[in-house]
Amino acid sequence: MSAVLSPPLSTPPAVGPHPRKWTREEYYRLAELGFFQGQRAERIGGYIMVMSPQNWPHTNSTCRADELLRVVFTATAWVRTQMPLALGLSSDPEPDVSVVPGRIENYTDHPTTALLVVEVSDTSLAFDRGDKASLYAAAGIADYWIVNLNERQLEVHRDPQPDPTQPFGARYAQVTILGPGASVAPLAMPQTPVAVADLLA
């Protein structure tokens, strides 16, 4: 009677080709080595996403949002343009504009939350409505705006809720679509509305 030999316990199981996730340390080391020179990159769910070059309407709307929100929040918060948020969830997104509590001198590393996140969307619209919205909801960000350049509207996402069907296990329960004639105030500054037309290029 022959014996059936099992492989040693230390032998790893055979694995076919599969995407590789990157740690935060690896991602920033790649950036230091110049791998993303001339490109916009973000780590989302462990994967490195390379963004399309910015056209003029995207740049214009990003600058408009930055300037308007600096006026709205004055000295009460730090308004940041295309800088990382260390949200956990294997993600370091760089939203077009983020408003974080406190001032720059209060931080020794990238912020881990935000009062408001704004993404300016044209070619990235499906990604911003899908993966990005789920990521921001999972991180507990209460106020997420998409400046939709394609349809010339502002999409205001609020009330993050768990949803296991979404990429990061959460979604926004409330989505409000606003046209150029409307205005909206950030949740963190309800007394200071912003005209949607002023956000559109």
Measured on CA atoms in the order 184, 62, 117, 157, is the torsion positive or negative? positive
- Lowest model confidence (mean pLDDT) among 54-58, 155-159, 189-193: 54-58
% the chain with pLDDT above 70: 93
Residue 67 makes CB contacts below 8 A (sequence gap 6+) with none
Fold annotation for 53-199: tt1808, chain A (3.90.1570)
Per-residue pLDDT tens over the stretch 25-59: 998 899 899 888 878 889 999 998 888 888 999 99
Per-residue pLDDT tens over the stretch 78-103: 999 999 999 988 999 999 999 999 99
Question: Does the pLDDT of residue 1 top 50, yes or no?
Answer: no
Measured on CA atoms in the order 105, 107, 111, 116, is the torsion positive or negative? negative
Domain boundaries, the chain: 53-199
pLDDT in the model for residue 169: 98
pTM for this entry: 0.87
Tokens (6 digits) for 140: 């507990």
